Amino acid sequence: MIRFDYARPTDLAEALREGAGEEVAYLAGGTNLVDLLKENVARPTRVVDIARLPLTGIEDTAQGGLRLGALATNTETAYDQRVQARYPLLSSALLAGATAQLRNAATNGGNINQRTRCYYFYDVATPCNKREPGQGCAAIGGVSRIHAILGTSHQCIATHPSDMAVALAALKAEVRVTGPGGDRVIAFADYHRLPGDEPWRDTTLEPGELVTAIDLPPESFPTNFTYLKLRERLSYAFALVSVAVAMRLEGERIAEVRIALGGVAHKPWRRPEAEDLLRGQEPGREAFGAAADALLEGARGQGGNDFKVPMARKAILRALEQATAGTPQSQTDKRIA
């Protein structure tokens, strides 16, 4: 592992002072950053341990939503009674990710800021534009089983690995940020980026900025939802394709619906125009198919991941059926009903 300085601030102002500079990394639960330090992928000169900052709470907001502290753990969040009762989609997505040990250490801020699991990003012996701008991308034309089918660029075809982020996209969460330039609030759809010409930037966070909390809006979709995750084995594996659906039915019709995909792009994949096709409609195979086609329009495999295109379409249909029926995917019994 590389050598670095270490700071352990106890308040936000001190953390931002310590976090100023080019080669600084904030450390939360460590389950991703420590790994990247060992692999020589992350090479900070200073590590700022933010785990002692007072950002661990989960609190009701004045608007009727819920504020998740950046340093609340994934376990604390998944089992929080308000999250379970009001935002079961988020709880389900969290419990679909990683393992109990990892979730016990992982924080909410760390989860949405985790880096891609692209094999070449991790392997410093291969070229990777995300790790070293301008080097090229070994995944294009290489082994691409886990890579993106939507929103790729000529520079990078990586996916974002978080399950939590897919649920947060469907819930239209907001990310609260503080930094040298003050505080700001970022809509979840604008938080993660597509790779474009700057694949080294995963998010719209500026250098030195820190996530302090994630706000969930009042509309919580407690009845008609699902998180359907498809992967190589039944547990302890990242998604090949995942689908989060948040739906509200009024009578026979869909009053509101959000669909977000994981495992297919550099960010949780949503297209409001696909959701518009379902709003006001009666749920059914035909309407679901049209929405799936709109959501996946332009999807293209890289060879090794061609299977993801039909797999995503089928998963979207199944997830919409699960949400409509109010029978969300169990994260214990992995049989898909």
Binding site for ligand FAD (CB under 6 A): 25-33, 35, 70, 74, 97-98, 102, 105-107, 109-111, 113-114, 161-164, 210-211, 238
Kindly tell me which residue out of 56, 104, 135, 204 binds another protein, with binding defined by CB under 8 A.
104
Segment 190-229, which members bind ligand SF4 (CB under 6 A)?
A: 199
Angle value at C-alpha 5, between 4 and 7, nearest 5 degrees:
135
**How buried is 148 (Cβ within 10 angstroms: 0-12 exposed, 13-18 middle, 19+ buried)?**
buried
Kindly tell me which residue out of 12, 25, 35, 189 binds another protein, with binding defined by CB under 8 A.
35
Residue with tokens 């359907």: 228
**Residue 193: both structure tokens together:** 């980026």
Segment 38-97, which members bind another protein (CB under 8 A)?
A: 38, 40, 45, 47, 49, 51, 75, 79
Q: Which is nearer to ligand SF4, 73 or 116 (CB)?
A: 116
**How buried is 256 (Cβ within 10 angstroms: 0-12 exposed, 13-18 middle, 19+ buried)?**
middle
Q: What is the DSSP letter of 174?
A: E
Q: What is the DSSP letter of 73?
A: B
Selected range binding ligand SF4 among 22-30, 122-130, 213-221, 240-248, rule: CB under 6 A = 122-130
**Binding partner of residue 152 among ligand FAD, another protein, ligand SF4, none, CB cut-off 5 to 8 Å per kind:** none
Q: Which is nearer to ligand FAD, 111 or 153 (CB)?
A: 111
**Binding partner of residue 293 among ligand SF4, another protein, ligand FAD, none, CB cut-off 5 to 8 Å per kind:** none
- CA 138 – CA 126 distance, rounded (Å): 6
**Residue 158: both structure tokens together:** 């990586």
- CA 305 – CA 303 distance, rounded (Å): 5
Chain residues that interact with another protein, rule: CB under 8 A: 1-6, 8, 27, 30-31, 34-35, 37-38, 40, 45, 47, 49, 51, 75, 79, 98-102, 104-105, 234-236, 331-333
